[in-house]
A and B are shown apart, each in its own frame.
Chain A
Amino acid sequence: MSTVSTAFCDSAIMLRRNFKHTVRNPVTVFNAILFPVVMMLMFVYVFGGAFKVQGRYVDYAVPGLLVMAISYGLGATATAVNDDMTKGVINRFKAMDVSRGAVLTGHVVATTVRGLIADAVILGVGFAMGFRSDASLLDWLAAIGVMLLLGFGASWLTVAMGLAAKTVESAGMATVPLIMLPFLSSAFVPADTMGTGVRQFAEYQPFTPVIETLRGLLSGHHASAGDMFAALAWCVGFAVVGYVWAVSTFKKRA
């Protein structure tokens, strides 16, 4: 077998391992889905009426919640990666003729898929709460592409954080900024209604352009080219930085 297909096979085997972990420990998925759903109920039914947005609030909030559902699932991955490194099982993989990145790839793909599942639930609940979209089929595909790319990029970054953390607890803490960022973005209220300092932060932080792009695609009124480009750049940036950081940390600890 060629090196590439060996690596692919190894990653697929590791992915199966990660999925089994997820199934054994459904609380992690439940957490990742439940919290964003609760947020959605609160914002749409409780706070939403007080916010001034264009159109209906549920239509405004869903794209932000899709991003939040992805970022909220990251904590479990960071702790799982760290757990792998601190427990003995990683030594077994390292002393075997297994492609080096397979353990990491398994985590990344599993996290990305978990994020997409969470998003599917959010969309389902959203539709039940009255979310409507004017998106074309192509828009939908593009939106799924954005969610996939964000999940993939954020997963690599999270895996790197999990590897770099000294303990399982600090690994969990490391992802808190990623989880908090959507709150300080245009997820729930438009950035231009915020105070100056917060607004500037919200406008330039990674999640705002991603949310704006998703919102544009789902509403059928596309976001500015600048936002779309920024969203793409942030996601690719996450993936590249996360990948390089993860691989170098993995080699150091291996």
Chain B
Amino acid sequence: MKSSAIAVSGLRKAYGDKAVLDGIDFEVAAGTVFSLLGPNGAGKTTTVNVLATLLRADAGTVLVAGHDVATATRQVRAAIGVTGQFAAVDDLLTGRENLRLMADLKRVPSGDRVVTGLLERFDLVESADRTVSAYSGGMRRKLDLAMTLVGRPRIIFLDEPTTGLDPRSRRTMWGIVRELVAEGTTVFLTTQYLEEADQLADRIAVLDQGRLVAQGTPDELKRRIPGTHVRLRFADLDELDTAARILTGATRDDQELILRVPSDGESRSLRALLDRLDEHMINAQEFSVHTPDLDDVFLALTGRTSAEVIAQ
């Protein structure tokens, strides 16, 4: 059994009379990726800020790297690296100078080598000596994460690291997270994307209005939500009836005239499904492949969609 890198129990935080975190408990094993999944306003950033010593909790205990964040703040800070939602870089310095600043503040021996290594790893060598104000959003994120990695912190907090990134940068970011874990780093990651949590995390916790509504491995969690399925919409009830009879395992919605057929979404099985409809001369007016997203998770776990959660 691995020791806990992070242990949180009974964590509460309120702003005024609005409870942002309403008693949450979880543990993160050392060397694993833990993902906190939730829509905007669920309390993800507040959680990160408390764990990263930027915010004091109202109640509960939080141990990070074995130290209490409330009493052993310095020891916690020495063990962690934080990349927030908004790139914390110095615009007037160059990329290299930003990294050098981190290396100096952390008293990293042979800082030049570390800085050069990170610039290469994050593909920032060409723009290393340009001031950061000229960087693109993706480059700023990369530099931000590189700055966090200076001095090899044992535990890294990433608050929505891929929000607003293009798909390619997102994949790069995922690759970096996997490398970090391979090196033994513990990663605490918040995200709005189920796919991201699924791709990266060893354990996922779903946060909804300051409470954890589910916790488990990605597989455990996915068992509780509808899997990938094909949605077919028909013109009338007769066609829906016929289709429901020939496609086993489907669930129907008479009101919307929709049939949901479980499927792996691969082309071969989709072709088989369409062929089957053709054999019985049935035409679906609408056809779509639906992969579960955060909305499905929320609908399954809380009975509401994430949009409804935000609207409240």
Contact = CB atoms under 8 A, between A and B. Distances in A.
Pairing of A with B: yes
B92 A92 contact: no
B267 to A, nearest CB: 44
A25 B86 CA distance: 24
A226 interface: no
B17 to A, nearest CB: 21
Contact of B104 (A13, A88, A93): A13
A20 B94 CA distance: 10
A20 B90 CA distance: 11
B53 A95 contact: yes
Nearest to B148: A92
Interface string A1-28: 0000000011001001100110011000
Given A87-B91, A95-B54, A96-B77, A17 B86 contact: no
A106 to B, nearest CB: 11
A162 to B, nearest CB: 16
Interface string B69-96: 0000010011010101011111111000
Interface string B21-43: 00000000000000000000000
Contacts of B77: 95-97
A24 B92 contact: yes
Contacts of A95: 52-54, 77, 80, 82
Contacts of A10: 105
Given A20-B93, A97-B77, A92 B104 contact: no
A93 B216 CA distance: 33
B84 A25 contact: no
B74, B77, B88: residue with the most chain A Cβ atoms closer than 10 Å: B88
A91 B131 contact: no
B276 interface: no
Contacts of B196: none
Contacts of B148: 92
A89 interface: yes
Interface string B102-131: 001111000000000000000000000001
A4 B105 CA distance: 15
B74 A97 contact: yes
Contacts of A88: 84, 86-89
A98 interface: yes
A94 interface: yes
A92 B157 CA distance: 12
Interface of B: 52-54, 74, 77-78, 80, 82, 84, 86-93, 97, 101, 104-107, 131, 147-148
11 contacts: A25-B92, A87-B91, A88-B88, A89-B88, A89-B89, A92-B82, A92-B147, A95-B82, A96-B77, A97-B74, A98-B105
